[in-house]
Structure 1
Amino acid sequence: DGRVPARAMAAATPARSQRVFLNHLDSHCGRGYLSKCVVGASLEDLEEDEGEDENTSDAEVSNLKGGQRPKEGVYQVVGTLSKVESNKPSFAVETYAVSNISDELLSHLLECEIILYNITEDANQIEEATWAASALHTEMQRFETLKIFILISTIMSWAKSKPLDPEDSEIAFTDEDYRRRKSHPNFIDHINAEKLVLKLGKTNKRKFSTYVVASGLQYGAGEGILHYFFKMAWLSETPSIPVFGDGNNFIPTIHVLDLAAVLQNIADHRPKTHYIVAVDESMHTLKELIKCISKNVGPGKIKMIPRENAFLSKELTQSHLDMLLVNLRMEAMFLKDNFSIKWVAQTGLVENIEEILKEYKESRGLLVMAWQADDMGEEGEDDEEESENIEEAQELLDGIKQSMEQNGSHLDDQYVIKFTKDKLKTMPCRNQGYVLDGFPETYDQAKELFNLEDEDEEEEIKGRIPKCDKLITPEFVISLTAPDEFLKNRIINLPESVVAGTHYTQDRFLISLNLFRELNTEDETVLNYFDELEIHPQIIDVAKFEDPENRIIVKEIIKEIGEPRNYGLTDEEKEKLERKAAEKHLVKEAEEVAEQERKEAAERAERKEKWEEWNKRLAEVKRQEEELLEAQSIPLRNYLMKHVMPTLTQGLNECCKIRPDDPVDFLAEYLFKNNPEIESDKH
């Protein structure tokens, strides 16, 4: 009748933005969840498919696919951080410094329509997750709209499940078998949390709906548990990558972005099934996973080691080892049949290693080589393939011997180029980079080394400049130049111990110098080759720098090529360094405090000593003054005793007897009348 289906009409209205809470936004699993997803987008994808399958009219299909539906309303992601010092992720609208269960945390949860709790990376979050679900359940009567709680758990709660058919171990578990699941002993708390969350969602599904997602081992975007193997392979410090046990155990996996798509589908679809298995379609063993990583990232070899040896690794926790040693076949039937997922790695890690390795390098800040994908995974042959090439290798060795015999022990260019090219294609060169010093020397050598081997001759003639093999072509070319006299003087001044046995002896050096000048005066030089490829060489005149150790020249080169783009520190290594720095700072502070206290104590002791010395001197001065005063007072005292005191005493006695009205005037008059000097004058 020309009417648009009800679901299409609902989707045609602007999608309202939804607020999503996620714990530990800075974890591997938490990075970027749903931040770029449009609310209801998975419903639209499903409707498009259904519309075509059900012979929807052209007008209706045009309405669905013509972009008329608003794409507004992405998920607003908020949440907590696993570390207080972590920076707020760019995708997060808000982060909360809530480190424990509290009313404040509950208030943040109540502001969100969707609450996600990931307990796959940190078992300590189980308590908080179950508390959050219980607290929201208690408050659900106050909800104005439906709130969805999703617990991101792990397939480890299935690890000890009994086979569906004891006689056929290849039958995989599906979502429908979740009631039969039996947890790994170290993941009992996980399965208990799952059961509680599912129970809380049954009370009032229109107010509070709960889901449990059983996630496979997560990988991608910098890697989680598998980072241990990626890092070991990338550094190429060991000849082989370890596989614990026989490696034949099957590990269910899922890319973190595909897991995010599962969560978005749950939020959009609100399915009636509340326990959902989230794994990709792969059925890879531990051996296959590690072999793929080693082949495409590292040395290409694997080594089987006893399971117990795995526990010697300090970088792998008990939880990591449990997940790596799980043996479980699982199939995510529900999400295949009901969800619309644009898979990143539907067939698993092995089949998608090229893109996974690319995003791994980008996430870890390693040197990204965009041209790797063309030849990725073709290097590093298996042991079986190597054994088949023994005859070929023997032929090569015979050819080398014959060439050296004919050229006076000099290796022909074709072999030097072959060996150099093979080396440049190895994983260490592709991962860490390389430096070629002095080779290639000519235009032809450079062309032979870096051109694509299967380049069409017609294209080469037509385009004049053949395409280079970007897998091995250098990013930078540095040419160090100097006048002949400068070079000769530098060689002359070298110690004999350095010159002996090298091409720096006078005869050999002059021959090499003349050959170099000849090669670089031709019309086509090795530098011309790179110029034609638009890899323009940087010319540095060494003679301008009075620097025998070339430190200034190295700085000039770094300006051109940038700082080293190497493997960064892990969070654990950073934390360890920060802890050491903090401890060192505390020790330094303690030493400074102790030194300050020592100085203050010394100053106090010095002040006390000076004070005591000053008091001694003061007492001595007083004593001396008293002695001086005593000595000075003796004549005066004698005078007073002889001439004044007798008369004064008599006057006082008379004054006491008579008691005049004015005793002072009486005493003055008495002293004047009875002055001994006046008496003597009278006589």
Structure 2
Amino acid sequence: EESLQLMLQCDVVVYNISDSLTKEQVEEATGAITAFEAEMDSFSSKKILILVSTVMTCAVTKPRDQVRLRDNSVTVDSNKRGLMERCVYIQEDPDALLTEEEYRRRRPLPIYVVASGLQYGKGEHLLHYFFKMSWLMQLPEVPLFGEGTNYLPMIHVNDLAGVLQNIINLKPRSKYILAVDDSKNTLEEVVKIISETLGTGKLRKVPEYEASTMAAFQAKEWASLSVDLRLESFIIKDSFSLKWTSEDGLINNIESIVEEYRSARQLLPVRIFLFGPPAVGKTTVAEKLCRHYKIHHIKTREVTEEKIAQLVSGITQSTQQQANFAPLVLKKRSTLLSCGGHLPDHDLFEILQEKLNSNPCKNQGFVLDGFPNTYDQAKSIFSDDDALDQDRMFKQPVCNKAIAPEHMIVLEATDDFLTQRVQGLPQSDAEKMLYTQEEFVSRLKTFRQLSASYDSAADYFDELEIHPDNIEERKQRLAEESAERERRKKATLAEMTAQYEQWQRNLAEVKCQEEELMEACALPLRSYLMKTVVPPLSEALLDCSKIKPEDPVDYL
């Protein structure tokens, strides 16, 4: 009743039953329409009721080339019929039927029915499972339930809102409006592009019944994704002035759709650059950060080894191409191994950029472990060439925000501490980590020189206003702040104690002064009593004690 009163106060009411079509929702919408019709005579202004429905009402419609008439009826195959048994059917109400006379005398309520395609955008709904599985990348292949050859009628939620706005403004003659975009994509194509943009790009077809056993979809949700319709909306194209967000569908606008999904679901990557001298413990801290935030650990040696392995395993083309390509790959691999895991800078930059642009790093984020080291290396990896051409007049570097770290953590320690730590390593570990005496001293000296000359990678990020969180300084600052809070607490407590003691002394002094004042005020009265009252009273009391009258008070 309260909802009805609120709706009656509005000139336009939009009733949405497209998200989860249930029998209760249909009955509620029908009741709202009936209540509107009953109140039509009391309306002071025109009312518009828009019912956002779903294309599932057309789900059993066969394509033209497959329609077979038999006894003036359309035959539907058993699979499609079984699917639609899970949908809501509205029983015909005999009381709602109108006679011909009643139909001519009726006052129709302005009601528009919008048959919406499967909605996407702004966080998704039906497609959320595929987005989630692609983003998490917990499985090497995204499950595709069934064959996926069915065509999905779809529309972006912004475009659906635009359709409703046009109905309100234009009030078209047609009361039934189909709201779909121009895409004619199958379920397999949609899931494939989602997996390619967010995940590995691989699919694995599984039987339809596993959609419920894997708790991926409810029955009605999967019924919507199983619909096979290719629809066109002529009214929207011919009559509406619609500013499309995704006119040609999800596949052609997948990048913006993915960004909307990340923003709506707050799936923001955590990108960290970990910096510090050799042997300070960057790798240990990086591993803990990766476990805590569930992000990816980027180490140059592992990244280059992974890339070389991909290049070697990828030589599966023609014999001539293998002969031309294999020496280059083997040369890069031999260079990698002979240089202690370091490729030439231009090759390493390219490999690292490719890794940072990969879907895992773009989805969850990464910890960049100790590389780049210099200002020029950081600039070569993270600078945005297109923006750099436009902003050459500015001295501040322009970075590629898609891969540039948002946080920088600096680990610091003294040279003596680092040297003692390296000396405590076994010889085999020191050689493996390039921490032998000569190598470590050289690396530490180079790091200190870069830091002193303001030519380190930290200086590059500092110019980008990505300021470091220095762990040692933070600990010292926290200790200083804690000591300052303790000092203030003690000072406040001492001040309060002194004030309380002073208050007690003042109170005692006031009480003493009051007593002295009372004694001073009582002296004249005491003198009068002693001279005038006490002598005769004493004599009367003595006589009273001798005579012992029956009424001593009266005798006195």
TM-score, normalization by structure 1: 0.53
* Equivalent residue in structure 1 for 2:368, among 411, 436, 441: 436
Match in the other structure for 1:108:
6
Q: Could you tell me how far 1:364 is from its partner in structure 2?
A: 1.8
Task: Choose 153-162 or 119-128, whichever is displaced more.
Answer: 119-128
Provide Cα deviations, 1:101-133, integer angstroms capped at 9, x if missing partner.
Answer: xx3333223222222221122224222111211
* Equivalent residue in structure 1 for 2:402, among 457, 466, 471: 471
1:481–1:405 Cα change, 3 Å: closer
1:250–1:207 Cα change, 3 Å: closer
- Mapping of 1:157-556 within 5 angstroms? 157-166=57-66, 184-189=84-89, 208-367=109-268, 394=326, 397-404=329-336, 407=339, 411-452=343-384, 467-489=398-420, 502=433, 509-522=440-453, 524-532=455-463, 534-538=464-468, 540=470, 542=472, 545=475
- Mapping of 1:497-646 within 5 angstroms? 502=433, 509-522=440-453, 524-532=455-463, 534-538=464-468, 540=470, 542=472, 545=475
- Following the alignment from structure 1 to structure 2, what is the Cα–Cα distance between the partners of residues 483 and 205? 91
- Following the alignment from structure 2 to structure 1, what is the Cα–Cα distance between the partners of residues 454 and 181? 58
Contact 2:153 2:229 in 1 (8 A): yes
Contact 1:252 1:328 in 2 (8 A): yes
Q: Could you tell me how far 1:258 is from its partner in structure 2?
A: 1.0
- Following the alignment from structure 1 to structure 2, what is the Cα–Cα distance between the partners of residues 544 and 211? 63
Q: Could you tell me how far 1:386 is from its partner in structure 2?
A: 10
Instruction: Return the letter of the residue paired with 1:120.
Output: S
Q: Give yes or no for the alignment of 1:144 onto 2:44.
A: yes
1:489–1:113 Cα change, 3 Å: same
Structure 1: which 5+ residue stretches go unaligned? 1-102, 169-180, 370-384, 554-683
Q: Could you tell me how far 1:409 is from its partner in structure 2?
A: 6.3
Q: Could you tell me how far 1:257 is from its partner in structure 2?
A: 1.4
Instruction: Return the letter of the residue paired with 1:357.
Output: V
- Following the alignment from structure 2 to structure 1, what is the Cα–Cα distance between the partners of residues 435 and 333? 27
SS in 2 for 1:367: coil
Provide Cα deviations, 1:326-369, integer angstroms capped at 9, x if missing partner.
Answer: 11100011121111211111111111222222222222223289
Q: Could you tell me how far 1:523 is from its partner in structure 2?
A: 5.8
- Following the alignment from structure 1 to structure 2, what is the Cα–Cα distance between the partners of residues 125 and 527? 59
Provide Cα deviations, 1:253-304, integer angstroms capped at 9, x if missing partner.
Answer: 0011111111122222222211111101111111121122112222232222
- Following the alignment from structure 1 to structure 2, what is the Cα–Cα distance between the partners of residues 250 and 230? 19
SS in 2 for 1:277: strand
- Following the alignment from structure 2 to structure 1, what is the Cα–Cα distance between the partners of residues 114 and 473? 67
* Equivalent residue in structure 2 for 1:134, among 34, 56, 64: 34
Instruction: Return the letter of the residue paired with 2:3.
Output: L
Instruction: Return the letter of the residue paired with 1:215.
Output: S
Q: Could you tell me how far 1:468 is from its partner in structure 2?
A: 3.5
Provide Cα deviations, 1:496-534, integer angstroms capped at 9, x if missing partner.
Answer: 9998965567666445423422443446322333344x2
Instruction: Return the letter of the residue paired with 1:528.
Output: D
- Following the alignment from structure 1 to structure 2, what is the Cα–Cα distance between the partners of residues 301 and 396? 29
Q: Could you tell me how far 1:135 is from its partner in structure 2?
A: 2.4
Q: Could you tell me how far 1:197 is from its partner in structure 2?
A: 12
- Following the alignment from structure 1 to structure 2, what is the Cα–Cα distance between the partners of residues 126 and 422? 52
Instruction: Return the letter of the residue paired with 1:150.
Output: I
Contact 1:483 1:543 in 2 (8 A): no
- Following the alignment from structure 1 to structure 2, what is the Cα–Cα distance between the partners of residues 202 and 341? 35
Contact 1:251 1:283 in 2 (8 A): yes
1:455–1:120 Cα change, 3 Å: closer
Provide Cα deviations, 1:527-564, integer angstroms capped at 9, x if missing partner.
Answer: 333344x24432626277489xxxx89xxxxxxxxxxx
Match in the other structure for 1:675:
none
Contact 2:163 2:242 in 1 (8 A): yes
Match in the other structure for 1:595:
none
- Following the alignment from structure 2 to structure 1, what is the Cα–Cα distance between the partners of residues 315 and 449? 42
Task: Choose 473-482 or 226-235, whichever is displaced more.
Answer: 473-482
Q: Which has the higher contact order (CA 8 A, sep 6+)?
A: 2
Provide Cα deviations, 1:206-259, integer angstroms capped at 9, x if missing partner.
Answer: 661222111100011111111111122222222222222222211000011111
Match in the other structure for 2:503:
none
- Following the alignment from structure 1 to structure 2, what is the Cα–Cα distance between the partners of residues 492 and 202? 98
- Following the alignment from structure 1 to structure 2, what is the Cα–Cα distance between the partners of residues 435 and 192? 62
Q: Could you tell me how far 1:460 is from its partner in structure 2?
A: 10
1:242–1:387 Cα change, 3 Å: farther
- Following the alignment from structure 1 to structure 2, what is the Cα–Cα distance between the partners of residues 495 and 131? 81
1:420–1:509 Cα change, 3 Å: same
- Following the alignment from structure 2 to structure 1, what is the Cα–Cα distance between the partners of residues 269 and 344? 34
Identity score, percent = 39
Instruction: Return the letter of the residue paired with 2:2.
Output: E
C-alpha RMSD of matched pairs (Å): 4.1
1:368–1:544 Cα change, 3 Å: closer
- Following the alignment from structure 2 to structure 1, what is the Cα–Cα distance between the partners of residues 247 and 360? 29
SS in 2 for 1:186: coil
- Following the alignment from structure 2 to structure 1, what is the Cα–Cα distance between the partners of residues 107 and 331? 79
Q: How many residues end up aligned between the 2 structures?
A: 416
* Equivalent residue in structure 2 for 1:118, among 8, 11, 16: 16
Contact 2:269 2:362 in 1 (8 A): no
Task: Choose 321-330 or 349-358, whichever is displaced more.
Answer: 349-358
Larger-Rg structure: 1
Instruction: Return the letter of the residue paired with 1:524.
Output: D
Instruction: Return the letter of the residue paired with 2:383.
Output: N
- Following the alignment from structure 2 to structure 1, what is the Cα–Cα distance between the partners of residues 316 and 188? 21
Contact 1:217 1:254 in 2 (8 A): yes
SS in 1 for 2:185: coil
Q: Could you tell me how far 1:416 is from its partner in structure 2?
A: 3.1
- Following the alignment from structure 1 to structure 2, what is the Cα–Cα distance between the partners of residues 460 and 146? 55
Instruction: Return the letter of the residue paired with 1:165.
Output: D
1:191–1:426 Cα change, 3 Å: farther
TM-score, normalization by structure 2: 0.64
- Following the alignment from structure 1 to structure 2, what is the Cα–Cα distance between the partners of residues 496 and 224? 57
1:187–1:477 Cα change, 3 Å: same
1:205–1:480 Cα change, 3 Å: farther
Contact 2:458 2:468 in 1 (8 A): no
Structure 2: which 5+ residue stretches go unaligned? 69-79, 271-313, 480-556
